[in-house]
Amino acid sequence: MMRIACYMRCSTGDKQTVESQRTEIESYLATRSPKRVRWFEDVGHSGGKLDRPAFKKLMDDVRRRRFDILVCYRLDRISRSLFDAVHVLDQLRQNDVRLVTLADGISFDGPYGGLMYALIAGLAELEREAIRERVKAGLRAAKARGVRLGRRVAVIDIEGARRMRAEGMTMREIAEHFGISVRTLQRRLRGATKTPSLT
């Protein structure tokens, strides 16, 4: 006898309501004879993040191995991010929980389950690489326009720092005053003069 968890999610203004998802899942359950069914639903939550209340409880039950199959209407009910979806799939596989999504016909059960997982993981890697390339292209374009990249150089009053040191303040106190590290302060002081740095 199978133990089944059913997950439903809809965001604000989502056309796919929790009620319509439940109807589809109940039709699926009618063809099975589950020993136990647990329902989890997140209403008004985006699929862009995984820190949704019901979903977090669901994943806690995954780690406790409280069910054998997770059913949802579509994979994007779990997450709209392929990266996050693959992360969730990894956790399901590690805890021997099979995922079934009804609308897109995805099942990680049987001989083709591993192939389906590999396909989704591959698509996630392609998306990750595409994002990396877009970021690199954006940085190249910004550099070509003369935009300065990287962290802003902290402005330090060198003479003021020397006065603070002469008045007995420690290097750490001076560094905290300017919002920089002690190492950065020492480097800037060395670069400002040929005389030995203040230590």
Order of strands, sheet of 106-107, starting from the edge strand that comes earlier in the sequence: 36-43, 3-10, 69-72, 98-101, 106-107
DSSP code, position 72: E
Instruction: Output the CA–CA distances (angstroms, integers) from residue 15 to 7, 73, 107, in the order listed.
Output: 17, 13, 24
Please name the amino acid found at residue 48. Answer: G
Among the options 11, 46, 81, 107, which is catalytic? Answer: 11
> Residue 101 CB: number of other CB atoms within 10 A?
19
Characterize the bridge pairing of strands 36-43 and 3-10.
Answer: parallel
Active site (annotated) includes residue 81: no
H/E element, 36 = strand 36-43
If phi > 0 it is left, if psi is from -120 to 50 it is alpha, else beta; for residue 9 that is beta
113-144 and 82-94 helices, crossing angle to 10°: 150
H/E element, 54 = helix 53-63
Active-site residue set: 11
